[in-house]
Structure 1
Amino acid sequence: MKLSDQIVQFPGWSSHQQNLCRVRTFLGASNAVVALVTDLSNIHPGQSITNAIEQVHSTLINRGIVLPGTALIEHYEEVNYGEPTFDLVSFTESGSPSWRSLSLEQAMEILQCTLAELKAQTLSVPRLAEEIDRMSSAIDPFAKSPWLESPEVVNRRSDIQASMVSKKDIQALVDRGATERELQSLLKRDLSLFGELYSSPHEHYIAFSEFPLAEGFVDFTLFTSTSRMEIVLIEIKGADFFLVNDDAYGEFAQSVNRAAGQIRRRVGDIYRDLNSFRKQAHKIRARAEAGEKIHGAFLGPQCPLGVDPNKDITIRTVVVGGRTRNDLVESRKRHDFEHGVSPPIKIESWDTWLRKLRRQ
């Protein structure tokens, strides 16, 4: 039989750290009072009850919730469809704890409670959920707030947003069948477009325009990622044709095939001397991060990237061009093409490219 059910605040190892747990007392077998202590560290960030069981135990005694010698069961609720766990905690005369694992059935027997009592999540009880929220806020009113970013990141993001080219402006240009040159001119005004689509993690990028490579250059290039740098090479074509020809063969338009061939040759040049390219790319990255406008360098909010110049790099390629005529047919063709060439080349029409933009 359950006697009480409450949220209890207890101190951590540090005097400044305060934690929460749920404590239920039951009149268990042989009419002995047993306390079930439920961990809430996944709800209220703090120390787990296992790591602070001595503090939990002393808090319960000092507040008169249990008497010395009361049996204590340590409980972790189901997480990600896992089973709950139960451990009977015993204390020596000096206060040192030891644990003995219990099955769900054994815990029910000791507590003399129902299965529903032990399977129900704490947050499913409105009274307890409200109490956790109130007590968490009293401990730290900003505990659940996002991590405060540096002023440099906030200011850079604000500057980028203030100068963004809108999706509406690009769409208008595409809808009227703009040429490659017209689209390039617009995209060069806001290289954050490529960071928005291809950076990983989000906002960790440096974008370049007319990036030199071998005997030529790539329209746009993105350096991204952390630890191991990822380089995205992007070729664009106009919106004044359809991506796939309207004939019996259904091949990609000639300009798209030409762009794919061109970028394949560029990648071939890279892989023939990948180590030299990696070193050169990191030199360019370092110069860009130092503030040099090399190759039109455009830094995302989260810079420097924090990549390791000694680690391998990953090369990805994208070709954007033409308009979509039949989305289902073209989707299959783009998928087959991407998986049929090595290294793979991602093909996008302007319609599919615009759909991926998050901005308005």
Structure 2
Amino acid sequence: MKITDIVHNYPDGSCLARGLCRVRSFVNESGIVVLLTDLGNKNDGQSVTNAVEHIIKSLQVLGVVMGPATFLEHYEREDPRGDTFDVVTVGSPGGTHWETISREEACRLIGCSLSELDERSWQNARIVAEADRLRFSRNRFVDSPYRGSNAVIKRRLEIDDGMISRAEVKALIGAGARERDLQCLLKRDLSIFAETYAQPDDEYICFSEFPLADGYVDFVVLTGRSRMDVILIEIKGADFNLLNADHYKEFNHKIHQAAGQLRNRLGHIYRELSTFRDHVHSVRARAERGELIHNAFMGPHDGLEVDPQKDINIRAVLIGGRTVDDRAESTKRHDYEHRFTPPIRIESWDTWIRRLQRS
């Protein structure tokens, strides 16, 4: 018979820190069995395993459990058949001892039906409400997203204020805009390329008209952690279809021409890779100091957490043309990207705009 079903606010051994677990006590002919269920993401302290000695002691001190009892540690899974159960013996020779038992053995030991163990604690409204009450009493903003520093928030707001809308970009693409018109729009808000390619999301520096070899690349994004990602982006207009309409379904000649130029510049980079790495890190450092070198556009964070002594990852993207047959073009892009070294990612304006998260 179940006599207790509560959320226990337990100490974890430190002065102030606490944790939460569900405690169910059962009495049967064998005595008292106490089921200690870890509450997963509702537990804001140590796990039941790491704090089990403190949990048991606090239950005894508070009088929730009186006299001899068997303590059973329990972790719930999505599928109840995957739950784990361990009989915990505190004060045994050699310290606390755990003995794993099966779900069926746990049910027999407790003397309950399987339906008792099948219930998920996160689906029990009373247990969830009590766990939340205790968590919020300790931290009024628990579960709130990390807000970042005031400087980061200020920069995010500045970026948001200057954003061009997805609808504005989509309208220009839909009108079959030429390359120059698209460049003029996209240069107004370089965060649009960070939104589509930067990772981590808020850690990036974007450039336009980035000098390289005997010319320049339309746009560049620097991002990443430890090893810096250098993303070279070349764009063409939206005034042609990505694939020709003839029997061969080849890429439009403008795509071939732009890809050839991009491959030549990538060749220049790889032939002098250490020189390029040093150069691009120098440009990064100047942008982080506030220089508007190559129209530098900083993300919300002051700088990138990258190591100038480590290799860089170089990626190349070519955006141009319109999609007519997505399936055929996807196959063609895949073959093209895997045929050349170094690879160039081909995107139509229709596939690229799907990446945008903004409204």
Structure-2-length-normalised TM-score: 0.94
Q: Alpha carbons of 1:279 and 1:80: their partners in 2 closer, same or farther (altered >3 Å)?
A: farther
Which residue identity does 2:200 align to in structure 1? P
* Alignment correspondent of 1:67: 66
Q: Alpha carbons of 1:235 and 1:96: their partners in 2 closer, same or farther (altered >3 Å)?
A: same
- Within 5 Å, which residues of 2 pair with 1:338-349? 338-349=337-348
* Alignment correspondent of 1:91: 90
Deviations 1:168-204 (A, max 9, x none): 2222222222221121111111100100000011121
Residues 208 and 296 of structure 1 are in contact (CA less than 8 Å); yes or no, is this contact kept in structure 2? yes
1:240 aligns with 2:236: no
Q: Alpha carbons of 1:49 and 1:105: their partners in 2 closer, same or farther (altered >3 Å)?
A: same
In structure 2, runs of 5+ residues without a counterpart are: none
Which residue identity does 1:339 align to in structure 2? H
Which residue identity does 1:286 align to in structure 2? A
- Within 5 Å, which residues of 2 pair with 1:128-207? 128-207=127-206
| Structure 1, 300-309 or 170-179: larger mean CA deviation | 170-179
Which residue identity does 1:84 align to in structure 2? D
Deviation at 1:94, TM superposition (A): 11
Residues 324 and 351 of structure 1 are in contact (CA less than 8 Å); yes or no, is this contact kept in structure 2? yes
Equivalent position SS for 1:42:
helix
- Give the whole-Å Cα distance in 2 for the aligned partners of 1:328 and 1:95: 64
Equivalent position SS for 1:52:
helix
Which residue identity does 1:108 align to in structure 2? C
Deviation at 1:164, TM superposition (A): 0.8
Deviation at 1:7, TM superposition (A): 0.7
Equivalent position SS for 2:322:
coil
1:28 aligns with 2:28: yes
Equivalent position SS for 2:245:
coil
Equivalent position SS for 2:82:
coil
Residues 29 and 110 of structure 1 are in contact (CA less than 8 Å); yes or no, is this contact kept in structure 2? no
Equivalent position SS for 1:92:
coil
Which residue identity does 2:4 align to in structure 1? S
Which residue identity does 2:44 align to in structure 1? P
Which residue identity does 2:131 align to in structure 1? I
CA RMSD of aligned residues (A): 2.0
Which residue identity does 1:233 align to in structure 2? L
* Alignment correspondent of 1:7: 7
Residues 323 and 350 of structure 2 are in contact (CA less than 8 Å); yes or no, is this contact kept in structure 1? yes
Deviation at 1:124, TM superposition (A): 1.8
* Alignment correspondent of 1:352: 351
Equivalent position SS for 1:157:
helix
Deviations 1:16-74 (A, max 9, x none): 212111101111352x0111111124322211122212221121112211114322111
- Give the whole-Å Cα distance in 1 for the aligned partners of 2:92 and 2:324: 80
- Give the whole-Å Cα distance in 1 for the aligned partners of 2:163 and 2:241: 27
Deviations 1:243-297 (A, max 9, x none): 1111122111111111111111111111112122112111111111111111111
Q: Alpha carbons of 1:46 and 1:311: their partners in 2 closer, same or farther (altered >3 Å)?
A: same
- Give the whole-Å Cα distance in 2 for the aligned partners of 1:127 and 1:14: 28
In structure 1, runs of 5+ residues without a counterpart are: none
- Give the whole-Å Cα distance in 2 for the aligned partners of 1:69 and 1:23: 16
Residues 107 and 113 of structure 2 are in contact (CA less than 8 Å); yes or no, is this contact kept in structure 1? yes
Which residue identity does 2:329 align to in structure 1? E
Structure-1-length-normalised TM-score: 0.94
Deviation at 1:140, TM superposition (A): 1.6
- Give the whole-Å Cα distance in 1 for the aligned partners of 2:146 and 2:68: 42
Residues 20 and 42 of structure 2 are in contact (CA less than 8 Å); yes or no, is this contact kept in structure 1? no
- Give the whole-Å Cα distance in 2 for the aligned partners of 1:67 and 1:310: 62
- Give the whole-Å Cα distance in 1 for the aligned partners of 2:321 and 2:156: 31
* Alignment correspondent of 2:121: 122
